[in-house]
Structure 1
Amino acid sequence: MGNQPSTPKPGTEFQVIGAGLSRTGTASFSEALRILLDGPVYHGGTQTTLGPPVEIKTMIQILANLFPGRTETSEKEALQLLKERFSGYAAATDAPASGLVPELLKIYPDAKVICTVRDPKAWEKSMEGVTNAATMGFLNVILLPIPGMRHFPDYINKLRAQWRTLYGEAGKEPMTVETYERHIEWLKKVVPEDRLVFFAVKDGWEPLCKALGKPVPKDIPFPRINDGEAIQRLAKRKLTQGLIRWLIIIATAGLALIPMIWV
């Protein structure tokens, strides 16, 4: 997860579908793509939590149109919304794009599909913290006063429907090594072999540049962004923001009641 949302740049060619699951180095990968493709990258986790409310609301609508079931009309609407949302971006990474690969290939048939990977057991352990932070029961109430983030619990529920549809029983929480492996199997089924690349961010520039046909950047170290720390910071900030807004609401309501008490 990046530190701030990206801004679309009109006229940018969409070139890469990031098919790696969350917590596989997607933030570092996104920054690397931004450098190599010289254009903004849509990192799902960052855009939906730090971007304007339209970001998360649109993603909720897209997911609702596709999962668990879809019609010809709802799929057509979802594809149009995806095209609008990703217009001006060079790539899309992280959830929900990682589970929308077939749909994105319909819109961008020439795009390269790159799946970031890591040790499955390490991924499983990393996902425990993310799942716990995203599914706390009191989020509905605390996030209610925050525009955009008040939709976060609904967004997580839509992501759950996506995961269950794609991975079956392995898509249910808690996420496990089986979930990770089912995602890899699914990608191999829906993406032509010559279009699918697996990439570990720990390997740095060379394999990524080779996949994209780009020269290795000179004097620019490969980005190393700690997604876990960023998620923890975001969670604390949003919870604090929600609590402060509730205190203001309660205090304001209390002040409004004082004249009535003395009447």
Structure 2
Amino acid sequence: MGHAASKPDPNAKFRVIGAGLSRTATTSFGAALSELLDGPCYHGGTQLLCSEETVIKRWIEVFRKTPISNEEDKQFVHKEIKSLMDGFVGCTDLPGNACVEELLEIYPDSIVICTVRDPEKWWESIRPIVENANFTILSWILMPVPRFRWFRTYHDALDNGNFGVAHFMPGEEKKPSRKTWDRHIEYLKKVVPKDRLFFYDVRDGWEPLCQMLNVPVPKDKPFPKLNDAVAVDGIMKAGVRQGMMTWAGIGVTAAAGIYTGLRVAKIL
């Protein structure tokens, strides 16, 4: 996690579906799961943007077949998700929190833990991104950058698939809002059996999480404190810088080519 994708461990057993929304300390939660369950955790943003390009393209195809409407699509979605998640002890953030129902079926012994915080503060932290981000411009900037060039397509697939169905009303603009929080909690309570659904605030530390997982509390081990914004936003900013530098290089090359052509034609 952080600025590098976690590698699957063939001995790891998938046990926890981290269903918390972004900006609910999902990175810290993932690190805690890795410590307690002794295996890698699938932090969505990092895995998508730091793995080979085929990973994000596979998730796009998964969400394009959701909500699942027939047995053929179900078989495809379940097979792909299992292939992507096997080797991890759990997952956090998107895309995992948008396919909770599927993960419950694929891993019947797993539990769902939704990381939470004050909903108003959550919206304050994510609101500037929602209101100020220009995905059209961002898509153009990221077009030359592997993995990142699929970012807009991935989000469109989410919004038109499972995530959009659960979090946006018909005819409503497909953008997160303060209502997204309440709808997410309602969605989880609807699709997850009561005895498999837990809500957890990372500020409460090891004890309640260990109780949920039925594992010992680590001794003399501080609870991991990682920053969700730094973990993924830093990766995105690096992608934007790479995109801008690539476009600048393309511009210089094009200008040089035009200049040379004009000189050859004796126009300059």
When the two structures are superposed, what TM-score results if normalisation uses the length of structure 2? 0.90
Given that 1:5 and 1:51 are in contact with CA atoms closer than 8 Å, whether structure 2 keeps it comes out as: yes
Matched residue, 2:74: 75
Structure 2 residue 95 is matched with structure 1 residue 96: yes
Q: What is the Cα deviation at residue 225 of structure 1?
A: 1.1
Q: What is the Cα deviation at residue 163 of structure 1?
A: 2.7
Matched residue, 2:237: 236
Matched residue, 1:201: 202
Q: What is the Cα deviation at residue 227 of structure 1?
A: 1.3
Calculate percent identity across the aligned residue pairs.
42
Question: Does the C-alpha gap of structure 1 residues 52 and 129 become closer, same or farther in structure 2, counting only changes over 3 Å?
Answer: farther
**Which region of structure 1 is more displaced relative to structure 2, 2-11 or 236-245?**
2-11
Matched residue, 1:39: 39
| CA distance in 1 between partners of 2:69 and 2:116 (Å) | 29
| CA distance in 2 between partners of 1:134 and 1:223 (Å) | 30
When the two structures are superposed, what TM-score results if normalisation uses the length of structure 1? 0.92
Matched residue, 1:176: 177
- Which amino acid is the alignment partner of residue 144 of structure 1? M
Matched residue, 2:83: 84
Q: Which runs of structure 1 show a deviation greater than 6 angstroms over 4 or more consecutive aligned residues?
A: none
Q: Deviations over 1:139-172 (max 9, x none)?
A: 1211011011000011111222233211332984
- Which amino acid is the alignment partner of residue 116 of structure 1? T
Structure 2 residue 9 is matched with structure 1 residue 18: no
Alignment of 1:1-263 (within 5 A): 2-67=2-67, 70-132=69-131, 135-161=134-160, 162-169=162-169, 172-263=173-264
Q: What is the Cα deviation at residue 5 of structure 1?
A: 1.2
- Which amino acid is the alignment partner of residue 198 of structure 2? V
| CA distance in 2 between partners of 1:200 and 1:135 (Å) | 31
- Which amino acid is the alignment partner of residue 247 of structure 2? W
| CA distance in 2 between partners of 1:172 and 1:216 (Å) | 44
SS of the equivalent of 2:108 reads coil
Q: Deviations over 1:28-58 (max 9, x none)?
A: 1001001111111111111112222122111
SS of the equivalent of 1:137 reads helix
Question: How many aligned positions are there?
Answer: 262
Larger of the two Rg values belongs to structure: 2
| CA distance in 2 between partners of 1:117 and 1:261 (Å) | 62
| CA distance in 2 between partners of 1:42 and 1:132 (Å) | 28
| CA distance in 1 between partners of 2:123 and 2:173 (Å) | 13
Q: Deviations over 1:215-263 (max 9, x none)?
A: 1112221111111234443332221110001112222333444543333
Superposed CA RMSD in Å reads 2.0
Given that 1:30 and 1:43 are in contact with CA atoms closer than 8 Å, whether structure 2 keeps it comes out as: yes
Q: Deviations over 1:121-154 (max 9, x none)?
A: 1111122134357643201211011011000011
- Which amino acid is the alignment partner of residue 242 of structure 2? Q
SS of the equivalent of 2:221 reads coil
**Unmatched segments (≥5 aa) in structure 2:** none
SS of the equivalent of 2:144 reads coil
Question: Does the C-alpha gap of structure 1 residues 135 and 64 become closer, same or farther in structure 2, counting only changes over 3 Å?
Answer: farther
**Unmatched segments (≥5 aa) in structure 1:** none
Given that 2:127 and 2:177 are in contact with CA atoms closer than 8 Å, whether structure 1 keeps it comes out as: no
Question: Does the C-alpha gap of structure 1 residues 135 and 22 become closer, same or farther in structure 2, counting only changes over 3 Å?
Answer: farther
- Which amino acid is the alignment partner of residue 160 of structure 1? D
